[in-house]
């Protein structure tokens, strides 16, 4: 008897699982349409509630800590921020080594002076390419979170319980739309990264074109002054490898009004602690060096560095010297090479900081706009029509499917009856 009972129980469980694959046939299409509308409204309301009711402003408003919107924002503020910074981070020695070695390969040589444009373009393009992986990871993580939320939400609706097939359809259709939105978002973000890579070289060329046309005055101040060889100058012009100091007024002789200095005989020291003092040291042959010193504010200092770099002259920064001397190739580098490396290094770091902040913000906005908000749009519009169309298909169950379902229902009821009889017999024998 126990063996027979076990076999019947096994058969009943199998039939029960099979019957779950069938559906209860909607008897009245009008009533079913009302039911589908109510389901659509429930899904739309609950999904927006899970997002914090503020899906379009997920990045700016205060959210309930337990809602999914808060979890997603936490992923961006912690996981994604960390991953995107790590993806573009390389060892300081390694990046300086790349810059130094690029000196031998760069095609941006002018008057035997090293220019940074091609080096920055090459290294930054490589750094930007590394952002693709963390972007794909965060988008996949967010979509996985939303997929689980949508599935649990639809399965928890009591109205859907009477139509298991329709419930499975609603889950599958919603997740299908979610995956479609994911692909759109990834395509948009990858295009954004591609544009960022292409913009690096374009920006450098635009800067150079502008520089070739603009006035070469690097410093001019009516109430300030620059001194050189005990003379006062109020304007400094940069012309290729020549720095020209001019005193437009009150000069006794024309040759005293202008002084030309060869940059290849100079070093520039910029005191970045206060961003005020700048010194140009002219190392003249067989004589003591002379100095040009003048004051600048922080913005003018950055412009000065930029103008120097465009002609391939790299100023020596007072708090520089971060190149590790124990690296063999860098150890052999000359002092001017090290200054060049440091300036290009700072340019790359500053550029990538801007790119990372921009990409981080753009990815979050893209996920909100093209994935979360588009999922809300789907629930508000196409979701209802999809439910009704699927319900109409349910009313058109084929004769073979109906016979198969009814046969299994009879077998299931028979098994339950036999189990009831066997329990009674076992109880009587005891």
Sequence-ordered alpha helix ranges (H) in 66-217: 68-74, 81-87, 92-102, 117-129, 132-155, 164-213
Per-residue confidence band for 122, with pLDDT thresholds at 50, 70 and 90: confident
Give me the sign of the Cα torsion angle 301, 302, 304, 308.
positive
Asked if residue 182 has pLDDT above 90, the reply is yes
Per-residue confidence band for 227, with pLDDT thresholds at 50, 70 and 90: low
Q: Which pLDDT belongs to residue 138? A: 92
d(CA 13, CA 274): 80
| Least confident window among 128-142, 152-166, 183-197 | 152-166
| Least confident window among 27-31, 323-327, 353-357 | 323-327
- pTM for the structure as a whole: 0.59
More confident residue, 427 or 128: 128
d(CA 336, CA 314): 8
Asked if residue 191 has pLDDT above 70, the reply is yes
More confident residue, 398 or 424: 424
Q: Which pLDDT belongs to residue 186? A: 93
d(CA 140, CA 47): 19
Any residues with CB less than 8 A from the CB of 429 and at least 6 apart, and which? none
Q: Which pLDDT belongs to residue 209? A: 47
* 216 φ, ψ (degrees, to nearest 5): -90, 20
* 291 φ, ψ (degrees, to nearest 5): -130, 140
Asked if residue 218 has pLDDT above 70, the reply is no
Sequence-ordered alpha helix ranges (H) in 214-257: 254-257
Asked if residue 248 has pLDDT above 60, the reply is no
Q: Which pLDDT belongs to residue 112? A: 37
Block residue for tokens 């309930």? 64
Q: Which pLDDT belongs to residue 282? A: 76
Which tokens hold the place of 140? 């996949």
Q: Which pLDDT belongs to residue 30? A: 77
More confident residue, 400 or 129: 129
Contacts 24+ apart (CB under 8 A), 33-38: 33/388, 33/391, 35/159, 36/384, 36/387, 36/388, 36/391, 37/384, 38/159
- pLDDT tens readout for residues 297-347: 666 666 677 677 666 676 665 544 443 444 444 444 456 666 677 777 877
Q: Which pLDDT belongs to residue 176? A: 93
| Least confident window among 348-357, 382-391, 417-426 | 417-426
Numbers of helices and strands, H then E, in the chain = 15, 10
Per-residue confidence band for 411, with pLDDT thresholds at 50, 70 and 90: confident
Q: Which pLDDT belongs to residue 323? A: 39
Mean pLDDT of 40-44: 88
Which range scores top for mean pLDDT: 11-15, 121-125, 176-180, 202-206?
176-180
Domains of the chain: 26-204+356-396 (1.20.120.1240), 217-318+327-339 (2.30.29.30)
For residue 334, the Cα-to-chain-centroid distance in whole angstroms is: 38
Specify burial of residue 342 (Cβ count, 10 A radius: 0-12, 13-18, 19+).
buried
- pLDDT tens readout for residues 364-401: 889 988 998 899 899 988 888 888 887 777 666 566 76
Q: Are 272 and 301 in contact (CB under 8 A)?
A: yes
**DSSP characters for 1-22?**
-HHHHHHHHHHHHHHHHHHTTS
Instruction: Say how many residues make up the chain.
Output: 430
Q: H or E segment at 293?
A: strand 290-295
Three-state DSSP at 318 gives coil
DSSP class of residue 267 equals E
Mean pLDDT of 152-170: 80
- pLDDT tens readout for residues 268-303: 776 655 555 677 777 766 677 777 776 666 666 666
Reading phi first (left if > 0) and then psi (alpha if -120 to 50, else beta), residue 136 is in: alpha
Computed over every residue of the chain, the mean pLDDT equals 72
Asked if residue 77 has pLDDT above 70, the reply is yes
Give me the sign of the Cα torsion angle 378, 379, 380, 385.
positive
């Amino acid at each position: 008897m126990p063996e027979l009972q076990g076999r019947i129980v096994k058969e009943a469980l199998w039939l029960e699982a099979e019957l779950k694959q069938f559906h209860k046939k909607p008897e009245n299409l009008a009533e079913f349409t009302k039911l589908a509308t109510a389901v659509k409204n429930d899904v739309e309301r609950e999904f927006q509630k899970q997002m914090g009711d503020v899906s379009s402003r997920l990045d700016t408003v205060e959210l309930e800590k337990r809602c999914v919107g808060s979890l997603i924002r936490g992923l961006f503020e912690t996981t994604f921020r960390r991953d995107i910074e790590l993806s573009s981070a390389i060892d300081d020695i390694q990046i300086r080594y790349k810059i130094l070695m690029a000196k031998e390969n760069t095609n941006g040589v002018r008057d035997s002076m090293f220019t940074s444009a091609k080096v920055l373009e090459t290294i930054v393009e490589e750094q930007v390419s590394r952002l693709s992986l963390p972007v794909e990871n965060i988008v996949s993580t967010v979509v996985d979170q939303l997929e689980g939320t949508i599935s649990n939400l639809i399965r928890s609706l009591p109205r859907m319980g009477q139509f298991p097939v329709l419930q499975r359809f609603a889950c599958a259709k919603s997740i299908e739309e979610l995956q479609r939105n994911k692909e759109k978002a990834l395509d948009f973000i990858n295009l954004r990264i591609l544009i960022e890579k292409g913009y690096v070289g374009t920006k450098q060329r635009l800067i150079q074109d502008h520089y070739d046309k603009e006035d070469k005055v690097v410093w001019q101040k009516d109430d300030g002054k620059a001194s050189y060889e005990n003379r006062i100058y109020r304007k400094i012009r940069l012309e290729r490898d020549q720095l020209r100091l001019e005193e437009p007024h009150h000069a006794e002789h024309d040759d005293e009004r202008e002084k030309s200095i060869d940059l290849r005989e100079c070093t520039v020291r910029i005191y970045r602690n206060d961003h005020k003092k700048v010194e140009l040291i002219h190392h003249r042959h067989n004589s003591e060096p002379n100095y040009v010193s003048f004051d600048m504010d922080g913005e003018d200092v950055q412009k000065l560095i930029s103008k120097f770099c465009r002609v391939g002259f790299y100023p020596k920064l007072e708090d520089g010297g971060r190149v590790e001397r124990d690296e063999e190739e860098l150890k052999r580098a000359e002092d001017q090479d090290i200054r060049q490396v440091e300036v290009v290094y700072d340019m790359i770091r500053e550029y990538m900081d801007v790119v990372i902040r921009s990409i981080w913000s753009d990815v979050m906005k893209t996920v909100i706009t093209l994935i979360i908000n588009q999922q809300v749009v789907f629930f508000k519009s196409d979701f209802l029509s999809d439910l009704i169309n699927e319900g109409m298909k349910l009313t058109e169950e084929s004769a073979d499917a109906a016979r198969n379902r009814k046969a299994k229902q009879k077998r299931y009821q028979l098994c339950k009856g036999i189990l009831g009889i066997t329990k009674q017999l076992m109880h009587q024998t005891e």
